Structure 1
């Protein structure tokens, strides 16, 4: 008989991994113990060498559904063999394990919920080791009940027996509870005596009311998604003019009534992450209010992911709007008192419970642009699962990246893994900034993380940059500014699994976004970068155009239209622009804009792809005066274009030779204005514009030498446009190139911190 100490690292706490080890050891007649500690799971095992070899090899077989094993290591161990195999008390130590994301209700718990013979029938807070809240209720590692929001709920004898039985699926399920001992549900204002709070909430929803519902990661505001008056009223109360609402349906079949589904979409909807999935509407589906997703041809659906949601939807005949419980642009509220205060005037009633939400988690959003899932917002269900870094990134110093200003996230890199935080929001909002600070403290505590390097965006005025500088001074870390678009490119390479050796240099990154500070001190946003992880140069870019009014131009697309036309045609641009002059909402202000551009007053040059989309949308009369949320005009333009893409052909462009190569749009504007003058359908013009952008950028990449085998990462917010992404990928593949698209992290600024962290760690390692 020999003894071994076996270390298992990965997502192995709070997922039933110790009972899995216990059952396997007993089946093989192995003596010893298994325990959680700060690094994951540690096993002490006694048996003959061949049996222990088989035991180690089988640890991955039949592992619980939420577990992810990153490594299994073994060393000789001393000591006498114990009798039998036990599950030991958790130990503390340096934290290197991961925290499992919150997971949707598993099939077994869902079956109990509707089983009249089960003691948890109708109970809104049932869960087990395969499902339920995780990050949202945890405050420390090890992940034990005392370190969660469930510490406030002592277990009853029945729950305690399940919790202590390794053969039960609730063994050490930290949030486990039942009606006798767990959280309780109520409705405010209180319904009539004897009325079930869920029944009362459903009656309100059926009558067109709006109900604030406390979920896992925050409150939602819900209304009947088939009731036009309720949807309009919810928009009015939230002051949310156009941003699409998320929907929740009881089943995949119900989603399929309204949207086109395939196996990939169904699998995503039913996955433990249970994200919002953007799906194309069925043209023959039942009618839904236009106000759910104005100007859009996709709807965002999710399935119930808590027992409370399942009980609620089972009482209804159709889908619900389930939008974030907040006032416009604020973070989702998470406490009962916050909900009573901040959602007053928005909700007619509050469906609440007394299990605390310790950590805010928005719903994740996933799209399927070319048959493969792409995460647009990474939050509940995905964060904070660590992302393994590709080959070549071992041995980097522990690095914290602070992310950007919008769609903020931060990222921890250590020991070949990246831990990207959940989506936090726009740091210009004071509440989001407070949330960012709180989550940063939480992650550093949860993962016992002290950075040696802190990465920040090169823009000195970003709040994330100033916070990073202060933190670097406080903890003695090295501060490393990272170029905005280089970080986008690196994030895409990492997301695509491109290792350091392969992606160190020689790639051509097509990076398209709203704007970011370039290495020359100007604003960039439509770039082709040559290089890789070890450094890049600007090889090509969109022609810079003035941004008249600065931030105002990001809210008012007509400003960008004036700037684009004036840049294309010079001072006599009005002679060419007759077809669109009547679409300028403030004609009297055009002269002011011209003077701003002539003098350079509050009109910085910017090579933004995002502003080009706004300008074309304005030319077609789409939200020319003002947009209510970022990319509203571009999203409407994409939806308008989609039916016409097959029949469209691109407009001409100008590729000005030089170093860098410059993509100019004058020929496109001439042809586009001629189409408008000729009365061509706006959808066809929109489609031709999309193909023009894809064609121009690929032509530029080929002019720069892209060919068979060339890596071309595609990043920034614009490649989240399905048409742009598909058309660029198709053209690159035809040329033999290897386009790399985002999958696990957002292409927009939500993934920026991942690229920052990897680049800063490499720079620090190089000295």
Structure 2
């Protein structure tokens, strides 16, 4: 039988793929060779026994079945070769530095085999915090170029000792070509310093090593900056209320919940409810933060997650974390190492400069972090884990584009302003960057530009088309416009909510030519086609175009961006437009919310609104949540983080409703909305809810029940609007996206109601519903338009 050339595409480098091929070839008596190159893995094979005619067929079947745990095979392409290979063995060849068309595997949590080694006193890697193999360890965070070889990573400065080199060279060893392979004799080291940079000897704390010393400082109530895989964390004892409060003051993060890390699932289950599905997700190689329903455990510091019904937990995902938490039967706060809104520190010198005022000591190491990678955040909603932030453990694993996108030019989609990520389109796949943050912060904007340049080089991506949001003031839009003009590139501006719609379509493998769906897109705001601010939208569309067929009734935003930070302004505007402020003050003079509003500069704000000065109108779903939250004084006068009021309103509602999978509350149980189909586009008007809500306030109704009634009323109104629009436009599929649909209560009631009507519902699965998914949608819209050009 003749030989074959086999091309394997996908995530197949740095995951033990070639050793698997080597093992299978030897077991099946096959001859030839394998190598990494810019397109993935290239194999040449022939049977050692010319009469074994199906050996290569069996090889391909077993390769798919026995694929290494971190690998992902996208395609196996087989081509016959003339004659037989001149070889008597099967060997692994060095990498070929050809054009790059392959991907990089995301950083992966410590595998069970490596974990067993660092716990075994007889093993040479006992308590070594940089233990890894081809099944686990850093990838994106340390890589500078493809092919993913040691010389292209931050491990290049650590020459392997003889024993590590022997493992690295042995195809039968799980560390064969594990690029970060190291041991205590040749690899990175970890040490503890004070805020002046002076090294603290472990003996000073009666400890055997720096990690044990760090653990003792944490137990003593200290705050530590800890260098991890993709950046620094600030850590402290999550049961020490005074320490957590101190961390909040130093970090200037006054209300946003802190993430937690626990040694094992038993510890987590003391503080949060945990299903089998959630436990499996926490234990996955990605090891994300997972939002879990909290238990009322009095030992957890209330400052960890004030006014929250959930807690964000993760398990240790590096040997250093495992060693640090080994003796902890309670969780640690493990929040990003930065001042509020700044990017996470990744460099030792930077950490000493930026974090010394926040931490009492720093646990450092000398393996450079090349790429900043925050922790990913997921939440189980409607029965499935769904991403809220896609970063460590997931990026930059490529996403296959749906059918119809096989031939697209190279496209760079630059994303939005908040929760930014960008997206490279090429070879019928999308490479979505890790979460980068809010570009309105100067340090984040600089990191964004640096990461853009790195990805361009890493994937040898040369954009032919740039895709940006239509909003002219976004940093990403301004960058894209200047770039396109400078390089003579085609620029495609994409409406914000159309991008949300395209993102959820691509996330569900919706084919390019499958026809339109009804998108229900609720978020903070985005610039609409008519120049106003949208945010509660019903769009009929696909990748190519979208028509606005319905929306929430717009309301004024007194003070513009100040109305986003100060929810009482939203409430005042809506009351003024629904009966007038004087009506509400006269009808409900004794209500606490009226007294709070009377203490504000109402005349100034109302005069500005009446004159139309700095008072844009918006159909924003997020701002409606803020206005309702303001009636209950959630978030206070000024919010300390984006979405705070809405998140606290959901937490209140969940006390009454909990998870609503599989059941639809009766429409009359929620506050009323009005649907006006006599205008085009149709309008969903929240005005009727205010009288019902204020009546509940006047009768002393519990805040949790008021929050629940608002959620149920809005959900019922969305379902009714969705049903009627679907019938009017003869569609059976609806797609939900936008940050508001990260609200589990709202999402599950809406989805249940729509499914009860026999409608198909598309939800996000791999990218966030918030603006972290915008770039995928922008890229797909640009690709669709380029395909049609």
What corresponds to 2:277 in structure 1?
Answer: 264
Cα drift, residue 536 of structure 1 = 1.2
Instruction: Give the alignment of 1:9-158 within 5 angstroms.
Output: 9-47=9-47, 48=50, 49-78=53-82, 80-158=85-163
Cα drift, residue 56 of structure 1 = 2.1
Higher mean alpha-carbon deviation, 94-103 vs 47-56, is at 47-56
Query: Conserved in 2, the CA contact under 8 Å of 1:583 and 1:621?
Result: no
Distance in 2, Cα, partners of 1:673 & 1:749: 33
Distance in 1, Cα, partners of 2:259 & 2:593: 36
Give the alignment partner of residue 696 of structure 1, picking from 717, 723, 728.
Answer: 717
Distance in 2, Cα, partners of 1:258 & 1:230: 19
Give the alignment partner of residue 547 of structure 1, picking from 546, 554, 557.
Answer: 557
Q: 1:124-172 CA deviation, whole Å, 9 max, x = no partner?
A: 1000000000000000000000000000100000000000000000000
Query: Conserved in 2, the CA contact under 8 Å of 1:548 and 1:596?
Result: yes
Query: Conserved in 1, the CA contact under 8 Å of 2:588 and 2:698?
Result: no
What corresponds to 1:655 in structure 2?
Answer: 675
Distance in 1, Cα, partners of 2:319 & 2:456: 31
Give the alignment partner of residue 369 of structure 1, picking from 381, 395, 407.
Answer: 381
What corresponds to 1:729 in structure 2?
Answer: 751
Give the alignment partner of residue 564 of structure 1, picking from 563, 567, 574.
Answer: 574
What corresponds to 1:278 in structure 2?
Answer: 291
Cα drift, residue 394 of structure 1 = 1.1
In structure 2, runs of 5+ residues without a counterpart are 658-664
Give the alignment partner of residue 184 of structure 1, picking from 169, 180, 189.
Answer: 189
Distance in 1, Cα, partners of 2:436 & 2:592: 39
Cα drift, residue 286 of structure 1 = 5.2
Higher mean alpha-carbon deviation, 700-709 vs 446-455, is at 700-709
> Could you say what secondary structure the match of 2:174 adopts?
coil
Cα separation, partners in 2 of 1:516 and 1:580, compared to 1, 3 Å: farther
What corresponds to 2:693 in structure 1?
Answer: 672
Query: Conserved in 2, the CA contact under 8 Å of 1:31 and 1:81?
Result: no
Query: Conserved in 1, the CA contact under 8 Å of 2:512 and 2:784?
Result: no
Higher mean alpha-carbon deviation, 655-664 vs 168-177, is at 655-664
Cα drift, residue 317 of structure 1 = 3.1
Query: Conserved in 2, the CA contact under 8 Å of 1:31 and 1:45?
Result: yes
Cα separation, partners in 2 of 1:64 and 1:588, compared to 1, 3 Å: closer
Query: Conserved in 1, the CA contact under 8 Å of 2:523 and 2:738?
Result: yes
Cα drift, residue 596 of structure 1 = 1.4
What corresponds to 1:533 in structure 2?
Answer: 543
Query: Conserved in 2, the CA contact under 8 Å of 1:584 and 1:625?
Result: no
Indicate yes or no: 2:220 matched with 1:198.
no
Give the alignment partner of residue 595 of structure 1, picking from 607, 612, 615.
Answer: 607
Cα drift, residue 580 of structure 1 = 5.2
Distance in 2, Cα, partners of 1:469 & 1:588: 41
Cα separation, partners in 2 of 1:162 and 1:680, compared to 1, 3 Å: same
Indicate yes or no: 2:226 matched with 1:213.
yes
Give the alignment partner of residue 476 of structure 1, picking from 466, 472, 488.
Answer: 488
Cα drift, residue 315 of structure 1 = 2.8
RMSD (Å), alpha carbons: 1.5
Distance in 1, Cα, partners of 2:330 & 2:153: 35
Indicate yes or no: 2:733 matched with 1:711.
yes
Cα separation, partners in 2 of 1:317 and 1:57, compared to 1, 3 Å: closer
> Could you say what secondary structure the match of 2:381 adopts?
coil
Distance in 1, Cα, partners of 2:645 & 2:294: 19
Distance in 2, Cα, partners of 1:240 & 1:529: 37
Cα separation, partners in 2 of 1:181 and 1:107, compared to 1, 3 Å: same
Distance in 2, Cα, partners of 1:324 & 1:487: 29
> Could you say what secondary structure the match of 1:730 adopts?
helix
Cα drift, residue 709 of structure 1 = 6.5
Cα drift, residue 388 of structure 1 = 1.1
Indicate yes or no: 2:453 matched with 1:441.
yes
Q: 1:61-96 CA deviation, whole Å, 9 max, x = no partner?
A: 211100000000011224633110000010011111
Indicate yes or no: 2:330 matched with 1:341.
no
Indicate yes or no: 2:529 matched with 1:519.
yes
Cα separation, partners in 2 of 1:630 and 1:576, compared to 1, 3 Å: farther
Indicate yes or no: 2:788 matched with 1:761.
no
Higher mean alpha-carbon deviation, 704-713 vs 157-166, is at 704-713
What corresponds to 1:606 in structure 2?
Answer: 618
TM-score (norm. length: structure 1): 0.98
TM-score (norm. length: structure 2): 0.95
Query: Conserved in 1, the CA contact under 8 Å of 2:15 and 2:135?
Result: yes
Cα drift, residue 316 of structure 1 = 2.5
Distance in 1, Cα, partners of 2:281 & 2:142: 24
Distance in 1, Cα, partners of 2:595 & 2:468: 41
> Could you say what secondary structure the match of 1:501 adopts?
coil
Indicate yes or no: 2:6 matched with 1:6.
yes
Q: 1:422-479 CA deviation, whole Å, 9 max, x = no partner?
A: 0000001111111111111111111111111110001111110111122223443210
Instruction: Give the alignment of 1:238-249 within 5 angstroms.
Output: 238-249=251-262
> Could you say what secondary structure the match of 1:393 adopts?
coil
Cα separation, partners in 2 of 1:459 and 1:665, compared to 1, 3 Å: same
What corresponds to 2:662 in structure 1?
Answer: none
Give the alignment partner of residue 429 of structure 2, picking from 417, 423, 427.
Answer: 417
Give the alignment partner of residue 513 of structure 2, picking from 493, 501, 504.
Answer: 501
What corresponds to 2:586 in structure 1?
Answer: 575
What corresponds to 2:655 in structure 1?
Answer: 643
Indicate yes or no: 2:385 matched with 1:381.
no
Cα separation, partners in 2 of 1:571 and 1:345, compared to 1, 3 Å: closer
Cα separation, partners in 2 of 1:725 and 1:588, compared to 1, 3 Å: closer
> Could you say what secondary structure the match of 2:384 adopts?
coil
Instruction: Give the alignment of 1:282-301 within 5 angstroms.
Output: 282-283=295-296, 285=297, 287-301=299-313
> Could you say what secondary structure the match of 2:346 adopts?
coil
> Could you say what secondary structure the match of 2:73 adopts?
strand
Query: Conserved in 1, the CA contact under 8 Å of 2:202 and 2:213?
Result: no
Cα separation, partners in 2 of 1:84 and 1:701, compared to 1, 3 Å: same
Query: Conserved in 2, the CA contact under 8 Å of 1:583 and 1:624?
Result: no
Cα separation, partners in 2 of 1:412 and 1:577, compared to 1, 3 Å: farther
In structure 1, runs of 5+ residues without a counterpart are none
Q: 1:386-434 CA deviation, whole Å, 9 max, x = no partner?
A: 0111222111221110000000000011122111000000001111111
Cα drift, residue 287 of structure 1 = 2.8
What corresponds to 2:168 in structure 1?
Answer: 163
Distance in 2, Cα, partners of 1:531 & 1:350: 52
